[in-house]
């Protein structure tokens, strides 16, 4: 019964415009169906080493990349548990739900968390960050928690500017780039970040199940005699076993196959083209929104390339819009989280989506919004998006 239901689901496969999990390419899905191998044998070692090698340029590092069997949150928890001891103080810089969750992880581990507040829809003000750190003359902050891309608000932070704001403050800098990694340039080593966390099911377009962490030398040396009690997520073990092409515990082998295939696709496309694709899709969705009288939640200068959060117009029922799109158009978009529940629509750009998929989804959204009584010129809005997407239709040479 369960298998029959799964097959039926595959036949009805919908286009995912949620910010993870995302639509995976057929060869990525096929890779996950390959026969299992010994996770301590040579075949898996080749896969794991290949994944780390393929990820290094995506993170912008020449250091270690370790892979954990967990979702992105597990990667963030591992970063915190391995870097800080209870009682230490960190500066969290949340700009939405995921940044607040990151701060919550730190609190659960007994850290004293100070928050640098940012208005909803804005990115972190690098000047405010620099000022707060300059005031920290005694270096009370042992850590700084940053979010590259905030999925709940469609906000992207300028990581180069934050790196400059941090300057030579000695805190361990941990970055949640779960919904950013791979979609725009990232230069971990140049920006001197200590730990950067990604996950398989976002811009790299593999199924969920793996967290990926890049760690610099300073993170490892501080870890050797610090951190909180941890067992499953002990990154020192992950590093030690990773050097031998293994993970400390049984990994999700099939998801690793999928991630390896997804990374091969990513590099075949080329990082520059992948950046351009995400930027172009986000730009097309924002052009649609502007022409459709829909307000973008993210402020100018803070726009994410992986998720666009649009304020629901008065009278439009977000739940009804989403279920109509899902049921009648096979298009799945996100709603709002926490205080934004029922107030926004979120459209993701990540995954194996063609320009035509994006255009078709926006056509459907225009139809559904008009049904809901939203006054808009549907043909003008969809044409605005198509104009931008048309440029992306040119096949790479
Ligand atoms: C998706 C996401 C996470 C991790 O979520 P999981 O469900 O644990 O994979 C963390 N941070 C951001 C910004 C995200 O978008």
Q: Are residues 327 and 358 in the same domain?
A: yes
Instruction: Judge if the beta carbon of residue 77 lies within 6 A of ligand 1.
Output: no
Segment 158-183 shows an average pLDDT of 98
In a domain, 313, yes or no: yes
pLDDT per position as a tens digit, 268-278: 999 999 999 99
Distance CA 112, CA 94 (A): 15
Answer yes or no: is pLDDT of 6 > 60: no
Segment 149-165 shows an average pLDDT of 98
Burial of 186 (0-12, 13-18, 19+ CB in 10 A): buried
Q: Are residues 115 and 45 in the same domain?
A: yes
Q: Do 178 and 197 touch, CB atoms closer than 8 A?
A: yes
In a domain, 394, yes or no: no
Q: Residue 142: what are its φ and ψ, rounded to 5°? A: -85, -20
Q: Are residues 234 and 313 in the same domain?
A: no
Q: Are residues 257 and 358 in the same domain?
A: no
Q: Are residues 223 and 363 in the same domain?
A: no
Q: Are residues 262 and 291 in the same domain?
A: no
Q: How many CA atoms lie within 13 A of 321 on its CB side?
A: 30
pLDDT per position as a tens digit, 37-85: 999 999 999 999 999 999 999 999 999 999 999 999 999 999 999 999 9
| Domain end (from 226, 241, 267) | 267
Whole-number Å distance, alpha carbon 72 to ligand 1 midpoint, is: 5
Answer yes or no: is pLDDT of 7 > 60: no
Supply the mean pLDDT for the chain: 95
Q: Which two structure tokens, joined as six digits, stand for 193? A: 């970040």
Instruction: Judge if the beta carbon of residue 73 lies within 6 A of ligand 1.
Output: yes
Mutate to test the pocket of ligand 1, among 72, 153, 204 (most ligand atoms within 8 A of CB): 72
Mutate to test the pocket of ligand 1, among 22, 67, 73, 101 (most ligand atoms within 8 A of CB): 73
Q: Do 227 and 28 touch, CB atoms closer than 8 A?
A: no
Q: Are residues 115 and 171 in the same domain?
A: yes
User: How is residue 63 annotated by DSSP?
Assistant: S
Q: Are residues 217 and 305 in the same domain?
A: no
Q: Are residues 95 and 194 in the same domain?
A: yes
CATH of the domain at 190: 3.40.640.10
Q: Quick check: helix, strand or coil at residue 223?
A: helix
pLDDT for 397 equals 47
Distance CA 298, CA 219 (A): 32
Whole-number Å distance, alpha carbon 201 to ligand 1 midpoint, is: 9
Q: Which atom of ligand 1 is nearest to the CA of 202?
A: 1
Range(s) of the domain holding residue 281: 2-19+270-389
Q: Are residues 192 and 310 in the same domain?
A: no
| Domain end (from 223, 244, 267) | 267
């Amino acid at each position: 019964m369960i298998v029959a239901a799964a097959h039926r689901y595959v036949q009805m496969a919908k286009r995912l415009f949620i910010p993870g999990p995302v639509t995976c390419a057929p060869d990525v899905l096929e890779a996950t169906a390959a026969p299992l191998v010994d996770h301590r044998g040579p075949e898996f070692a080749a896969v794991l080493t290949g994944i780390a090698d393929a990820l290094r340029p995506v993170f912008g590092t020449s250091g270690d990349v370790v892979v954990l069997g967990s979702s992105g949150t597990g990667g963030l928890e591992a970063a915190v548990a391995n870097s800080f001891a209870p009682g230490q103080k960190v500066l969290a810089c949340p700009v939405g739900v995921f940044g607040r969750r990151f701060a919550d992880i730190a609190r659960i581990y007994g850290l004293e968390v100070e928050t640098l507040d940012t208005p909803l829809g804005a990115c972190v003000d690098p000047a405010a960050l620099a000022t707060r750190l300059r005031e920290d003359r005694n270096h009370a902050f042992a850590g700084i928690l940053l979010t590259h891309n905030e999925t709940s608000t469609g906000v992207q932070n300028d990581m180069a500017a934050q790196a400059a704001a941090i300057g030579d403050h000695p805190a361990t800098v941990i970055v949640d780039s779960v919904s950013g990694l791979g979609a725009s340039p990232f230069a971990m080593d140049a920006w001197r970040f200590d730990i950067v966390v990604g996950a398989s099911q976002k811009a790299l377009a593999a199924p969920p199940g793996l967290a990926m962490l890049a760690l610099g030398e300073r993170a490892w040396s501080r870890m050797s005699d610090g951190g909180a009690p941890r067992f499953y997520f002990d990154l020192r073990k992950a590093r030690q076993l990773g050097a031998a092409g293994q993970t400390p515990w049984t990994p999700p082998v099939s998801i690793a196959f999928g991630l390896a295939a997804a990374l091969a696709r990513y590099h075949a496309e080329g990082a520059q083209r992948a950046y351009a694709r995400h930027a172009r899709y986000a730009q097309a969705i924002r052009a649609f929104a502007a022409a459709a009288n829909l307000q973008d939640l993210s402020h100018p200068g803070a726009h994410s390339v992986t998720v666009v959060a649009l304020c629901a117009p008065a009278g439009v029922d977000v739940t009804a819009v989403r279920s109509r799109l899902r049921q009648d158009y096979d298009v799945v978009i996100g709603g709002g989280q926490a205080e934004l529940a029922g107030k926004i629509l979120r459209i993701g750009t990540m995954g194996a989506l063609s320009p035509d998929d994006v255009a078709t989804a926006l056509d459907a959204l225009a139809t559904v919004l008009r049904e809901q009584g939203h006054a808009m010129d549907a043909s003008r809005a969809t044409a605005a998006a198509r104009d931008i997407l048309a440029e992306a239709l040119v096949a790479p040479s």
